[in-house]
Amino acid sequence: MSAPLSALPPLATSVVHGWPSLVVLLAVFATMLLAGELGFLAGRKQAPSDGGRGHFVAVQASLLGLLALLLGFSLNMADQRFEARRASMMDDNITLAALNLRSDFLPDPARREFKALLRDYIDVHLDATSPKAASSDAEFSARAERSEELHSRMRRLVRQGVQSDPQVKGAAEMIGPLSDTLAIHRRWVTAMETNVPQPILVLLFATAVAAAGVVGYSGGLSQHRGKAQSVLLAVFVSGIIFVIHELDTPLAGVSQSGQRPLIHLKALIEAEETATPR
């Protein structure tokens, strides 16, 4: 039997991932504006030669290119992890729907007990798999562990049905979907624990601030503040970093993976039990 999730280390979220996305947005935006202003003040005091100016323009272009590369790379990594969590939820819905259908072939009272366990599993799984539902790593681990406990009880119920009456075809056919459900659950837990590495995020933040400072310095050299350009650069870069942070922090924020299929499945099970009590 696998170790309970409470015995495992908490989610390996970094310091950066622990910050609210809105705080990250405001911090990056304000720091970029400050760096741009300091760069402008420093550049205004300089009077480089034409050769030095050309060298600085090349450095500025390289830094902005590096920033664009890091933004695209980080956004792609965060989006892949978000899609992995959403795909696991969709796979889970399909497998749980198959379990619900096949449980109709179980004899009473095993059928009613299995349906109750399945409803509880979906309830807990909706809380645990909602990327923004758990307010802490401990809550997430507790909900995930509760999911495994319910899954274990469903397995035990099906195993008892198969052992007591091998002719119960519905019970035997539920073994495969039950195994798939546990595998999907484990895959989803892994997806929740995987984030964009903190060094990449720190490098991204540092590059964004450095790029803003270089742009401001360039404006100081030409005695042109370019405040609108600096603000736009800060808005778009901090906005993209906000999206990256949102996609990459499954336990906080506002971006959600779609839960409608699981909610619909739960409502379907409840409606079936109300309409056709046995």
Query: Alpha-carbon distance 48 to 42, whole Å?
Result: 12
> Among residues 95, 157, 159, 83, which one has the least CA distance to residue 122?
95
Domain count, the chain: 1
Residue 126 Cα to chain centre, angstroms: 15
Q: What is the pLDDT of residue 1?
A: 41
Residue 32 lies in a domain: yes
Percent of the chain at pLDDT > 70 equals 74
CB distance 234 to 61 below 8 Å: no
Residue 231 lies in a domain: yes
Query: Alpha-carbon distance 164 to 150, whole Å?
Result: 21
Residue 3 lies in a domain: no
Here the tokens at position 183 are: 């595998």
Question: Which residue stretches of the chain are H helix?
Answer: 15-18, 21-44, 50-103, 110-129, 137-164, 169-173, 175-193, 198-221, 227-248, 260-275
> Among residues 190, 126, 185, 188, which one has the least CA distance to residue 154?
185
Residue 25 lies in a domain: yes
Residue 113 lies in a domain: yes
Residue 12 lies in a domain: no
Please report, as a single letter, which amino acid is at residue 70. L
Q: What is the pLDDT of residue 127?
A: 61
Residue 119 lies in a domain: yes
Assess whether pLDDT exceeds 50 at residue 7: no
Residue 10 lies in a domain: no
Q: What is the pLDDT of residue 133?
A: 44
Q: What is the pLDDT of residue 54?
A: 66
Q: Which domain holds residue 258?
A: 17-275
Assess whether pLDDT exceeds 60 at residue 61: yes
Please report, as a single letter, which amino acid is at residue 273. E
CB distance 36 to 215 below 8 Å: yes
The string of pLDDT tens digits covering residues 11-50 is: 445 677 777 888 889 999 999 999 999 988 888 887 655 5
CB distance 250 to 259 below 8 Å: no
